[in-house]
Amino acid sequence: MRLAKFVFVALTASAAATAAPVTTALGVPVGGKLSSQPKTCPSTAAGSVDIRAICWVGAPQKYGRWKSGMVLIPGADQRPKWAAYANFDLRMASDGTIENLKAQTHSAADAPAILQSISSRFGSPSRSASRPESASWVRPEVFVEMRCSNESCVVEFMSAASYAEWQRDLADRKKIDAARPISP
């Protein structure tokens, strides 16, 4: 009986690892893969690029097992107004999984619209503050965070796996910080 329970737990964990949740946010499968790897965007006059697929604005930066950089995302007319012309940054794992998508708006006045937009899909925020305007949603399939300054707002969508890794890193850092001496 004990062996059967172990095998069931191992198979369940294995299936869970391969079936990571995917959430489409602003047309991007966070926690999933794009149908094709992004290429560098075509060089044309600023604002006149008619793209058909997500593309890198310049070469992405490579950091260990992932790459990150600014991207153009097609379909501005299919996004909420606050995200229609945002600047986007994408972090992708070496296997092509989208770990993180950030959207930076051009105005902090978008904060109420962003809060309403995200809440309409993910429910009430897990945490929010009014000064500076910020909120986060912790869901099993995705972590979403909105941070606004005086000039703009940044909305970050993080895959469940990436969020779990971030939480482990934070816990490890807390242990290291707790062991630090107080005096120099």
- Does pLDDT of 32 surpass 70? yes
Give the per-residue pLDDT at 8: 31
* Reported confidence tier of residue 2, pLDDT bands at 50, 70, 90: very low
Regarding predicted confidence, which is higher, 5 or 137?
137
13 within domain boundaries: no
12 within domain boundaries: no
pLDDT in tens, 160-178: 998 888 889 899 999 999 9
The DSSP secondary structure of 96-146, one letter per residue, reads SBEEEEEEE-S-GGGHHHHHHHHHHHH-S-SEEEETTEEEEEE-SSEEEEE
**In terms of DSSP bridges, do strands 39-40 and 55-56 run parallel, antiparallel, or are they unpaired?**
parallel
80 within domain boundaries: yes
Domain that holds residue 99: 20-178
Mean pLDDT of the residues in the chain:
85
97 within domain boundaries: yes
Give the per-residue pLDDT at 87: 95
pLDDT in tens, 44-92: 545 555 678 899 999 999 988 889 999 999 999 999 999 999 999 999 9
Domain count, the chain: 1
184 within domain boundaries: no
- Does pLDDT of 7 surpass 60? no
46 within domain boundaries: yes
φ/ψ (deg, to 5) at 119: -65, -35
Give the per-residue pLDDT at 50: 66
Please state, for a pLDDT cut of 90, what percent of the chain lies above it: 65
- Does pLDDT of 155 surpass 60? yes
25 within domain boundaries: yes
